[in-house]
Structure 1
C-alpha cells in the first residue's frame, strides 16, 4: 500500500464532517477528497437524484462508477495521508471489502440536533438518508470482519477538538498537527460543487465552532424518524472516543 495512510470518514449528513475535512486539509502531509462516491450514489439510487440539490451537475462533474472510485482511493499516492470524507449512504450496494485497507472512522451526531438542520435542505428525510441505521450496520460489518474502527461523536469533537483529534490521530497512527485546529474562512479547492448548498457555516468559520446546544424544536412530522434514529445513535455513542 506504499506506506500511505488512507482514512475514510463515514458520516451522516450535517455531522461536522466538512469541518473535519477542513482540519485534515491544513496538514502538509495530507490530501483530502470530498465525498468521492456521491456521483456513484446519485446514479445508482432509484430516487436520490430527484431530491438532492444540484444532482445533475454532480453527476456530470465526477466519476459515477463506484469500482473506479474505490480503485482511485486504493491507488492514489499523492500524499502520505489521504483523507476521504464519505457519506455512509453513498455505499449503496457497493462491495465493502476495500475497507480492510482503510482507517475507518464513523462520525455521528445527536439526531435531535441534526434532523432540523438536514430537513431545511432535504424535506421529509428517511432513515436511509440520515445514516444512523447504516452506521450500526457498518459497525457489525467491521466486527464480523475484524476491521478496526473508531466512532467520533460531533458534540465531543466540538467540546474538545484538540483532545479528540489527538485520539483520532493516534488511532490512525499519524502524528497530531496543531494546524488542524484552525483555518482561513474560505472555500477549499477540494470542495464538491454541492458546497453552496451545505457548507456555508464552515466557509465562514476559522475553526471548530464551540458547541452550543440546539434549541430548535423538532417538527411533528420528524418525531417518528427521531425516535428511530435515537435507537441507533444510543448504540453508536457507546463506541465513541
Structure 2
C-alpha cells in the first residue's frame, strides 16, 4: 500500500491556517484534517473554548491514538494528506518523535497582529496561547532530526499566494494545482466542530484575501505578550521562504 504524502502545517491561532486548509482541500488529490489534537488539548487542559463539549465528543482525546491515526492511511485514501495543526496543542507531555515522520511547514504571523485579533474573542492571553514559542522549539527539533521545515510568513504569503504555493509544492515534490488559488464558498464536512464560531469569514471566501494594513493598539498584558513573542517571530521570519 502506497504511503500518502503527509503534510503538517504548524500554525498559531488567528492566522491564515483555515484558508490554507481550503486551498489544499480544493486539490483533487488531497484530503485534510482540521486540528486533530484539539480534542486532547481541551480535555487535558480543561479550558473553556467555544463548542468545547462538542469538540471533545467528536474528537480523539488520547493523543497517542490521535497520532497513530495521523501516521496511518489518509482519509478516502487520497495520495496527499494536509494536516492543519496548532503548535500550542503540543502540550509539554506530548512526545515529538512522530512529527519528523511528516513533511512539516511552519506558518507564522506577526505576534502584534495575532494578539490584537486574539483578545477580541478571549479575555486573557499568554505567550504559549499564540504558539510562537512552540514553533521556535519545533523548528530546532526538526532541524536536529534532519530536515529544516520551510517557514511561511502570512503577510508575505498574502502578497504572493501562488508563488509561495508553487515553492511549497516544489519542496514537497508534487505538482502545483491552480485549484489551490480559488475554492467554492461554504462549509466543509472536514471543518472542525468549532467552525461555526471561528470560520465565518473563511466560509464566505473564495480565495486568499489581499493583506490589509491594520492599526492595532495593544496595552498591558496583550502588549507584553506580543513583545515577549517578538524575538521568536523575528528569528523565524529571518528563515522564511522567500519567493
Structure 1 and Structure 2 fold alike (TM over 0.5): yes
Matched, 1:54 2:14: no
- Runs of 4+ aligned structure 1 residues displaced above 4 Å come to none
| CA RMSD between the two structures | 1.3
* Alignment match, 2:87: 88
The alpha-carbon deviation at position 117 of structure 1 amounts to: 0.9
Contact 1:106 1:135 in 2 (8 A): yes
Cα distance in 1 for partners of 2:165, 2:54 equals 34
Contact 2:125 2:221 in 1 (8 A): no
Q: Which of residues 69, 72, 91 is equivalent to 2:69?
A: 72
* Alignment match, 1:124: 124
Q: Secondary structure at the match of 2:60?
A: coil
Matched, 1:98 2:95: no
Structure 2 length-normalised TM: 0.94
* Alignment match, 1:178: 178
Matched, 1:225 2:235: no
* Alignment match, 1:159: 159
Cα distance in 2 for partners of 1:82, 1:39 equals 20
Cα distance in 2 for partners of 1:11, 1:202 equals 16
The alpha-carbon deviation at position 50 of structure 1 amounts to: 2.9
Matched, 1:11 2:11: yes
The alpha-carbon deviation at position 90 of structure 1 amounts to: 1.0
Cα distance in 1 for partners of 2:26, 2:57 equals 28
Structure 1 length-normalised TM: 0.95
Contact 1:52 1:122 in 2 (8 A): no
Q: Secondary structure at the match of 2:174?
A: coil
Q: Please, which runs of 5 or more residues in structure 1 have no aligned partner? A: none
